[in-house]
Homo-oligomer: A and B are copies of this chain.
Amino acid sequence: MRDMRRRKFWGWGVEGGGPDEAVTRPLIKRACETFGIAAPEAILAPQIGEIALPANRIREGADSLGRCGATDDPLERAGHTYGKGLRDLLRAFDRDFAAAPDLVCYPASEEEVVQVLDTCDRHGYAVVPYGGGSSVVGGVEPRGLRERYPGVVSLDLSRLGKLLDLDRESRLARFQAGALGPGLEAQLRGEGLTLRHFPQSFEFSSLGGWIATRSGGHFATVFTHIDDFTHSIRAVTPAGIIETRSLPSSGAGPEPKRLLFGSEGSLGVITEASMRVLRRPVFRASATVAFQDFRQAVEAARDLAQSDLHPSNCRLLDPGEAMLNSVRSDGSAVLLVAFESADHPLGPWLDRALEIALGRGGSVAGDTRVSEGESDRAGSGGAGRPEEAGQWRRMFLDAPYIRDHLVRAGFIPDTFETACTWSGFEKFHAGVKEAVTDALDRVCGGGMLTCRFTHVYPDGPAPYYTVIAPGRPGARLAQWDAIKEAASEAIDRLGGATTHHHAVGRDHQPWYLNECPPLVADALRAAKKRLDPRGILNPGVLFDRLN
């Protein structure tokens, strides 16, 4: 069972994890200076004893659920009330856990998952599938469910994390879907294999969660989402089990597994997935290129995305983002380009990539590295990685911890992300910046907005925005909601994606219902009715409107 005594029930990661005060204090100091405010008193982290949880209402079926690892331990219920977004933190700091599930179930087998769904279906209890709990979009939060269902169960898959089968020749690894990132990688390492799916939530997000939310990972080009690494899938629905055939490819009808990719727990509970794994990379080549002109940096990123060189990393940081992450602070935009391979040296790849970037007015910043030899722990600097890139990776994985510190210090730090076409980017970016800057001015008296590209495609980039603003005590939830509303409204109006890899959950539903063609949403509702006739699975996410 997940050790909730070590996991924070109110925020990111484990107690005592992340960078220490020597790191966070200067950051907070800098943020205060930026906004010209005094260093505030940090909010005390909530203690479980302070939390008033609503009563556990589940009596009928309690025995059956009990045999599937059900608990109403307050720490467990509180720990499964929220995901890990800013809204979650702020409500936790408000000691508001009114939406807590009645029970948390930790099934130890797929049979127990079946039994939980059967029991809940019989009694009309809502079931919220829960992997690592890292949703930042209200995906695992039983919001509004207590009012509508006589029972609410958070279904935590964390006891189901085993590697079940390894096919070395086909490079396939079949896992139970509850495996968290580090546990999954640990089971592959001894075989010289890796999935290399490193979302920022890597440490506390699960394989099933990645698939259910179409998570975006390590690779900036070609196969970016977990979708394309998922060979086959197995899921439990109230109507029965779905298992797709083990095939490298099939042209037979609409692809069955794609119905579950991105279904966010609303159509079934993913219990197993066979994943396309990789040999651990040995060859690396990378470089950092600085641009005085952001527009030229965007053109370089586009050229690279359209070059068929397929860099594993092609991350563009705007000047603010470069500064925020201590990569560079002279006002340049920075393009991090990296290649990796288990098969061949990458000199020619990097040479051509640099030729492209320099041809767009970039200049090499720091070392370029071409190397051979294993080193790919997420978070390590690693051989063949320029200093700027190493700094970037450390910040990347520490960011959720640092975010918690900034929230406790009274700031409003959050992110939102999208995708658009290359031809549309300039207008799109200007429109998003204008809308969010206006909102920041209006509700916070100012703030910082930075942008990076996390992934690039031949037809467009995936821009990722970071917001930091000073908050007003007691008003931050409303402040953030106004900023987020402005951002989502602008993205929608300007034709961007509701989300590139953060998922829809409950927070993005109105915008998703604009993006998704209405007849497709209807078709998905009809599909859900067939798989989940009583509507118990994660009600209120995606296309499933709560009445």
Chain A contact residues, CB within 8 Å of chain B: 167-172, 213-216, 222, 224-225, 231, 237, 239-256, 258-264, 267, 276, 279, 302, 306-310, 341-344, 347-348, 352, 356, 419-424, 455, 457-462, 495-504, 508, 512, 515-520, 522-527, 529-531, 542-543
With contact pairs A249-B497, A515-B250 given, residues A306 and B171 touching in the complex (Cβ less than 8 Å): yes
Q: Are A341 and B308 in contact (CB under 8 A)?
A: yes
Q: Are B310 and A499 in contact (CB under 8 A)?
A: no
Q: Are B457 and A248 in contact (CB under 8 A)?
A: yes
Q: How many subunits of this chain does the assembly comprise? A: 2
Q: Are A167 and B421 in contact (CB under 8 A)?
A: yes
CA distance A398 to B131 in the complex (A): 53
Q: Are A222 and B222 in contact (CB under 8 A)?
A: yes
Q: Are A251 and B352 in contact (CB under 8 A)?
A: no
CA distance A137 to B296 in the complex (A): 50
CA distance A461 to B343 in the complex (A): 19
Q: Output the least CB separation between A280 and chain B (Å).
A: 13
Q: Are B253 and A512 in contact (CB under 8 A)?
A: yes
Summarize A's interface: helix, strand, loop or mixed: loop
Q: Are B169 and A302 in contact (CB under 8 A)?
A: yes
Q: Output the least CB separation between A286 and chain B (Å).
A: 16
Closest B residue to A258 by CB, please name it: B258
Taking a contact as CB atoms closer than 8 A, the residue among B170, B214, B225, B254 that contacts A422 in the complex is B170
Q: Output the least CB separation between A171 and chain B (Å).
A: 6
Q: Are B517 and A242 in contact (CB under 8 A)?
A: yes
Q: Are A251 and B243 in contact (CB under 8 A)?
A: no
Q: Are A253 and B542 in contact (CB under 8 A)?
A: yes
CA distance A496 to B250 in the complex (A): 9
Q: Which residues of B contact A251 (CB under 8 A)?
A: 213-216, 225, 262, 497, 499-503
Q: Are B253 and A524 in contact (CB under 8 A)?
A: yes
Closest B residue to A461 by CB, please name it: B248
Closest B residue to A234 by CB, please name it: B517
Q: Are B531 and A419 in contact (CB under 8 A)?
A: no
Q: Are B519 and A457 in contact (CB under 8 A)?
A: no
Q: Which residues of B contact A512 (CB under 8 A)?
A: 252-253
